[in-house]
C-alpha cells in the first residue's frame, strides 16, 4: 500500500508544529512639533512678563514684601475666612431647605421657595448688602408681642454695632438662592427608582429625601458647591457696602488710603486670595474623590495589580 503520510514540505505548518508567535509591533509615537512650539512660545511670553514685572518700579516690590505678612493683613484674612465659612454654612443649610421646598408636593412651599429665589437671584448682591447696611435705619426697633397689646421682646437695632453679623446674613441669604438650585439639580440626578424603592419600604417623603436621595446627590452637589465657596471668598470683598472694613480687602484699602500706594497693597490682597483659594481647591478635590467612590469604572494602579495577582493565583490552581 502506498504510504498515505506525507512529509511536510519546508515552510508548510505540520500537524504537530507549534504555532509561531507574531512579531511584536514596533509602534512609533506620532511626533507633534506644534505642542513644543506652543510650549516654547508660552514660556518665552511668561518669562518676558515676569522680567517686565520684576523690573517695573510701579509695582513697588519692596512695599509688597513689607506688607505681605503685616498683622493687619493677616487679621483681615482671618475675618475673610470667617465671613466665607459662616455665610456658606447659612447658604448650604437654607439652600437645602429651599430645594426640598421646591420639590415638595405642597404648592404653598413651592411658591414660597420660588418667590425667594426670584428676589435674591434677580437683584445684585452689592445692592442687597447696601440694604443690609441700611437695615438699622429702616428698622430702628424690632418688637415682638401682641398687636395693640403687651410687648414681650424689643431690640434696638440702631444701637447695635453688628456690621459683621449683617454681612454674614446678607452674603448667606444671597448665596442660599444659588445653592438651592445646585441642591435641586443634585436631587433630580438621583434615579426615580431610588425614591420608589424607599416609598415601598414605608419611608415618608421627608425620610426618602434625608436617607436616600440627598446622600446619593452629594457627588453632583459637591463640585459646584466648591466653586460657590471659592466665589463666596471673593464676594466678601463687597462687604464694604455694609460698611465693614475689617476684611482682607478692607484692611488693604485702609493701608493704601494712608500711604497712597494702592498697587503693591492690591498685589498683597490678590496673593492672599490666591493662597486661600488654592487651599480650598485642594480640599474640594479630596471631597469630590470621597463622594465619587464607586461611580467611575476606571481602576487604579493598585486595583489593577490586585486583579492581576488574583488571576495568577487562579491560573496556578
Domain boundaries in the chain? 84-246
- Residues 6+ positions from 45 with CB-CB distance below 8 Å: none
Q: Which residue has the higher pLDDT, 110 or 315?
A: 110
Spatial distance between the Cα atoms of 30 and 221, rounded to a whole number of angstroms: 40
Given a cut of 90, whether residue 45 has pLDDT beyond it is: yes
Question: 105 is written with which cell numbers?
Answer: 408636593
| pLDDT per position as a tens digit, 70-100 | 999 999 999 999 999 999 999 999 999 999 8
DSSP structure class, residue 141 = E
pLDDT score of 317: 62
Q: Which helix (H) or strand (E) holds 167?
A: helix 163-188
**For position 301, what pLDDT does the model report?**
64
Q: How far apart (Å, rounded) are the C-alpha atoms in residues 49 and 39?
A: 15
Q: What's the rounded mean pLDDT across residues 290-297?
A: 62
Contacts of 68-73 with C-beta under 8 Å, sequence gap 24+, read 68/268, 68/271, 70/255, 70/268, 72/251, 72/254, 72/255, 73/248, 73/251, 73/252, 73/255, 73/268, 73/269, 73/272
pLDDT band at 204 (very low <50, low <70, confident <90, very high): confident
CB count in 10 Å sphere of residue 268: 24
C-alpha cell at 24: 511584536
The pLDDT tens digits of the residues spanning 174-193 come to 999 999 999 998 888 887 77
Confidence (pLDDT) at 245: 86
Q: CB burial class (10 A; 0-12, 13-18, 19+) of residue 250?
A: buried
Max Cα-Cα span within the chain: 130
- Residue 141 pairs in a beta bridge with 156
Per-residue pLDDT tens for 141-161? 777 767 766 777 777 676 676
CB distance 242 to 163 below 8 Å? yes
- Cα first-last separation, the chain: 49
Q: What does the pLDDT read at residue 112?
A: 94
Identify the pLDDT of residue 191.
Answer: 76
Q: Evaluate if residue 4 carries a pLDDT over 50.
A: no
**CATH class, 84-246 region:** mainly alpha
Which residue's entry shows cell 459662616?
86
Q: What pLDDT, on the 0 to 100 scale, is given for residue 5?
A: 47
Least confident piece of the model among 24-38, 147-161, 197-211: 147-161
pTM: 0.75
pLDDT at 268 over 50: yes
pLDDT for residue 295: 57
Number of helices (H), then strands (E), belonging to the chain: the values are 13, 2
Backbone angles phi, psi at 218, to 5 degrees: -65, -35
CB contact at 8 A, 100 and 184? no
Q: What are phi and psi of 143, to 5 degrees?
A: -120, 140
Mean of all residue pLDDT scores within the chain? 83
Amino acid at each position: 500500500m502506498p504510504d498515505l503520510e506525507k512529509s511536510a514540505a519546508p515552510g508548510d505548518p505540520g500537524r504537530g508544529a507549534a504555532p509561531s508567535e507574531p512579531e511584536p509591533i514596533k509602534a512609533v509615537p506620532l511626533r507633534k512639533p506644534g505642542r513644543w512650539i506652543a510650549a516654547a512660545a508660552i514660556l518665552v511670553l511668561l518669562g518676558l512678563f515676569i522680567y517686565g514685572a520684576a523690573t517695573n518700579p510701579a509695582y513697588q516690590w519692596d512695599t509688597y514684601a513689607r506688607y505681605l505678612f503685616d498683622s493687619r493683613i493677616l487679621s483681615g484674612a482671618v475675618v475673610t475666612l470667617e465671613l466665607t465659612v459662616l455665610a456658606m454654612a447659612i447658604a448650604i443649610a437654607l439652600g437645602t431647605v429651599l430645594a426640598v421646598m421646591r420639590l415638595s408636593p405642597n404648592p404653598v412651599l413651592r411658591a414660597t421657595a420660588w418667590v425667594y429665589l426670584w428676589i435674591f437671584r434677580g437683584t445684585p448682591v452689592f445692592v442687597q448688602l447696601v440694604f443690609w447696611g441700611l437695615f438699622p435705619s429702616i428698622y430702628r426697633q424690632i418688637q415682638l408681642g401682641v398687636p395693640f397689646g403687651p410687648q414681650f421682646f424689643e431690640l434696638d437695632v440702631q444701637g447695635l454695632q453688628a456690621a459683621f453679623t449683617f454681612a454674614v446674613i446678607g452674603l448667606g441669604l444671597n448665596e442660599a438662592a444659588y445653592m438651592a438650585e445646585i441642591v435641586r439639580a443634585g436631587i433630580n440626578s438621583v434615579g426615580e427608582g431610588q425614591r420608589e424603592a424607599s416609598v415601598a419600604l414605608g419611608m415618608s417623603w421627608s425620610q426618602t429625601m434625608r436617607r436616600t436621595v440627598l446622600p446619593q446627590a452629594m457627588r453632583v452637589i459637591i463640585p459646584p458647591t466648591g466653586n460657590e465657596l471659592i466665589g463666596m471668598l471673593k464676594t466678601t470683598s463687597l462687604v464694604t457696602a455694609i460698611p465693614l472694613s475689617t476684611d482682607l480687602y478692607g484692611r488693604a484699602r485702609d493701608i493704601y488710603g494712608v500711604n497712597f500706594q494702592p498697587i503693591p497693597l492690591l498685589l498683597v490682597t490678590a496673593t492672599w486670595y490666591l493662597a486661600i483659594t488654592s487651599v480650598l481647591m485642594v480640599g474640594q478635590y479630596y471631597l469630590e474623590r470621597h463622594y465619587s467612590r464607586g461611580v467611575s469604572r476606571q481602576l487604579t494602579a493598585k486595583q489593577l495589580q490586585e486583579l492581576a495577582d488574583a488571576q495568577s493565583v487562579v491560573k496556578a490552581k
